[in-house]
Amino acid sequence: KAGVTQTPRYLIKTRGQQVTLSCSPISGHRSVSWYQQTPGQGLQFLFEYFSETQRNKGNFPGRFSGRQFSNSRSEMNVSTLELGDSALYLCASSLEDGRRDTQYFGPGTRLTVL
Amino acid sequence: AQKVTQAQTEISVVEKEDVTLDCVYETRDTTYYLFWYKQPPSGELVFLIRRNSFDEQNEISGRYSWNFQKSTSSFNFTITASQVVDSAVYFCALSEGGRDSNYQLIWGAGTKLIIKP
């Protein structure tokens, strides 16, 4: 079974631009979570989607948004990029419930904001 | 509030030594789940183990073993006869299973493990 895939793997943007990251979960998984990882803040939860609905959101500004499609694929968008948004963005999928079901992670998208 | 503490920022050992990574957690839920993940330099988080709060049985998988103790709120990870390929950052994580809990993993800061040949 194919794992979680994320595209693109690397991205370089400038301040003020916007970016969209994509995540395809493991086949049969309906829950998708997004995390931001930085050296200073570690791993931080962004949001979780299930059945096209956002079930929970972390403590991030409104510039960070996401959505999930009917095939469980998910995208996250960051608008008006800031230097501090440079990070590794990780997507994870789980069967139905990210609390009790194991979350499997993709390789991440490394975003650099100049 | 929920919290995961990995007090060891970095550990360096010589190959074939045993090493234990500590994880202490805080939660008020009676139902919760604990995880260990490995992050090699490539960046991808690799799942190692999941434990639920009702199962305190220790687990061994090859050279890896985990010691879950509710009395001390700890979920420690031991690598026996370490190998250079074990070099990575290891994360301990917690999720709460209560009805009002969030759908997220709470992460420790990670322990960077360096295995020298």
Residue in chain A nearest B47 by alpha carbon = A104
CB A79 within 8 A of CB B81: no
Contacts A104 to B, Cβ<8 Å:
47
Distance CA A86, CA A81 (A): 9
Contacts B42 to A, Cβ<8 Å:
107
Query: How does DSSP classify residue B105?
Result: -
Give 10-residue mean pLDDT values along chain A (114 residues): 92 97 96 94 93 92 97 97 97 87 94 97
Look up residue B31 and give its two tokens. 């139902």
State residue B23's pLDDT score: 98
Residues in contact with B29: Cβ distance below 8 Å, sequence separation at least 6, in sequence order: B2, B53, B96, B97, B98, B101
At residue B60 the predicted structure's pLDDT band, cuts being 50, 70 and 90, is confident
CA distance A50 to chain B (A): 10
- Report residue A58: phi and psi, to 5°: -80, -175
State residue A97's pLDDT score: 81
Contacts B102 to A, Cβ<8 Å:
45, 56, 99
Apex B105 CA angle, B101 and B46, nearest 5:
150
State residue A21's pLDDT score: 98
Distance CA B34, CA A44 (A): 17
At residue B42 the predicted structure's pLDDT band, cuts being 50, 70 and 90, is confident
Query: Shortest CB distance from B103 goes to which of A55, A106, A110?
Result: A55
Distance CA A13, CA A18 (A): 8
Is A103 in Cβ contact with B44 (below 8 Å)? no
Q: Characterize B57-74 residue by residue with b for buried, 16 or more Cβ atoms within 10 angstroms of its Cβ, and e for exposed.
A: eeeeeeebbbbbeeeebb
Contacts B4 to A, Cβ<8 Å:
none
Is A108 in Cβ contact with B44 (below 8 Å)? yes
CA atoms within 13 A on the CB side of A5: 7
State residue B100's pLDDT score: 66
Distance CA A52, CA B40 (A): 32
Examine the pLDDT at B99 and tell me if it is beyond 70: no
Nearest to B83 by CA among B114, B40, B115: B115
CA distance A80 to chain B (A): 26
CB A110 within 8 A of CB A88: yes
